[in-house]
């Protein structure tokens, strides 16, 4: 079974941090692609090792990504 999840990747210092908000699993890498690959591996390992109860408790059903425009200063 395949599960579509979200990957949020942002620059942090000299590398990138990747987050899967549905599971609250994070990873990092030197490039965007490495961060994405490392996150995918971390998520796959989570599903391989977590109990069904832990998956149910951590898996958030709906995640929405949007942008805000706010006044600064």
DSSP string, 38-73: HHHHHHHHHHHHS-HHHHHHH--S------------
What is the extent of the structural domain holding 24?
Answer: 1-73
- For the chain, how many structural domains are there in total? 1
CATH value at residue 51: 3.30.160.250
Measure the CA–CA gap between 42 and 36, rounded to whole angstroms.
Answer: 10
Tokens of 39: 């996150």
Per-residue pLDDT tens digits for 9-49: 999 999 999 999 999 999 999 999 999 999 999 999 999 99
- What mean pLDDT comes out for the span 52-72? 91
pLDDT at position 1: 79
| Number of C-beta neighbours around residue 20 at 10 A | 20
pTM of the entire structure? 0.86
């Amino acid at each position: 079974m395949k599960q579509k999840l979200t990957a949020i990747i942002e620059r942090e210092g000299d590398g990138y941090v990747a987050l899967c908000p549905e599971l609250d699993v994070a990873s990092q890498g030197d490039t965007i692609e490495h961060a994405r690959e490392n996150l995918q591996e971390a998520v796959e390992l989570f599903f391989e090792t977590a109990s069904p109860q832990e998956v149910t408790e951590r898996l958030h059903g709906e995640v929405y990504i949007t942008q805000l425009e706010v006044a600064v200063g």
